[in-house]
Structure 1
């Protein structure tokens, strides 16, 4: 028998589960305060000897403890939460249904508070359905918006069974929504086809598919048909596509912050690029209070951090954070070391900063920032000082490539940060393999589970257009990738949905660039020019930030 919450002298009831397997001693006034009709009294030998009244409930043995916890004000973080984590889908439905049938509205709210706090792409469809079923208005919109934002990303990793079990009305509601986070209407058709292929009876919905797609012009329809492979072209040609619908909102945007212009003046502008519309937008209301160049930018938990750099041509250790939900800039704890031309990456929920330069020259020091404590701590120093290097967190490791050492020599070496799990100590290891050429002022991104390195300048001070791949086998691929159209250094590069964007930068002895190139895995093509010539700027992906800019 389970004893719970109060001293034994206060217990006057035994709550009995429906099957009799669970018996919990309780204080009746506490129970009745929230659960007005727990059940009927029952004669029981054990209860007579203990002078406790036995109450037979209609609650199953595994759910009764969660109901009692709720009555005692423990909240949904005890045994109910444990049940959900161990048997998620089934227990959620059972527990919410039970609480609703018992008129325990407070418990229903606590359950949804718990579930929404832990929402994931895997659970979002089921949680949305539960919100609808039990009319949880305070979370309905929030959960549906989360579902719209994460649905395609979920399918890029694995098949979602919950998607296949949706009704036709639910699928239509999701796919027609202008806030569905897709790169093109081809992804919408892909989701529709997955749902239809799961049940042959759904194939009769094919003629209605075109009503789910958003096209504002005939040109968009023709581009769609040329790229689509899920349906025969003849079948697509017979579909009646609706023209003039509102384009979907592109929720993830490429963000460019700071840098220096053609006059070598530091800048403070915040600019976004929409790869879908191929347009730049300068956002004056999000500009920093002070200009900065040769800094680092990191996105973490949908906040954007601007770290270090040059301000008034002085090295700084300042760190600013932009809340992309509110558009508010705040100052967080400064780094220990002032540094410009530094590397920074987000890794395991923290920010790691490596190298750079200050008045004393190139730095080998490294430190990390914990946003939960707002504190920086030193890490082990790199094996070599590195300024104007490039770093990436990829495949569970942090790599730092190239850069300039304290002797002003451009390097081709690569270091990786490794952690001793037993001692919780980090150390840097120099890899035996090197890049194909020395580079500084280059860029690196994680691309198709490999690392792609582009541009920079070599030991002769010559800007480069070359591109190379660093694979998981820790060898530099000697089969050089297609070169960029323009040589560039001190530029920004970012990967988005399998495509690579190289943005602005400079060429030695020449004015900064405003050109933008996109690599699709085969070729580099020119995109819309940046609105100003720029070098020493930084880039990151602004996750779900479009609503802030509308």
Structure 2
């Protein structure tokens, strides 16, 4: 068990008043349990409650229902807000981290992340890494991933390894620092993963083989060959293909968010730097749309972005387009029926379920039907044969039009 105290301490007087039920100006309700609280104390703990009390609700509202977490976790978070202390155990660490992430209580997220990080082993590192894709904890995610890379030969022997998604296995195999005694280990691990569910996974064999030792596989000649390295190291970037070229944009180089972008030509095996974007972006959404490469949203190192820009390969220029309705990073992006969809993500305060779409013909964003679940660090795909897009979009004539001055329409 661990009890932590962050750099600040709330007054014990407020805590006494809370237990006495005096001067409380709000009730937090979770399921059927009510917690009388002082708004000012919770606002000091997390921007989530500040937004809830000041922006998302009527000023006279007193009872606030909080979904998605248990009364026990809410009690721990409220106690933390008043006392600056929280008890983290093996039994509650993961659930508490999830609740703290939902409410953006970053001090508790860090405390729980540190605690869970100390429990890492070959049996649980994959599950913890997967967990941090949904519940943002960059430090824990990096620590779990480093453990997987450093102890890959032991991790492969565990049941959790077989539960990796194709995208996750791709991320692992492409690492130059993957710790294996010989290259055949990575190949054998890949075959083991595919053999676990061959009917579903055989289709990914060629794509994943191309990531082993950063080599490209030519099925016609049954040969492997190394491909050229990018000009910059980058993680948390995003890429797309347009006109037989691969474009990768933004990301993080370990020190700063990037605004650079580069293009790969598979015929010449060369990466070429293209014009930089107008903004630094990590957790960015990149997709080919309307014969352009669109770079949408992301995080610039200070805040989540609404801005979007489009790259024209013919002129090697980026041009700003209309900004999204919602700030977001680490979201899903896809094009269907000539509309660009932005799905979920993280808005700087919490994971979101909001969905919107962009129409290049009008250079406007429109609301779409929201998801039923909060999602971040997600992926999207288009499934053909389901022409039901109209079920998820709001008719434009049913939306209220707002005249937004150009100078306010977007600088962020």
Structure with the larger strand share:
1
> Which structure would you say has the larger Rg?
1
Measured against the shorter chain, the TM-score band is: 0.3 to 0.5
Q: TM-score, normalised by structure 2?
A: 0.42
Structure with the larger helix share:
2
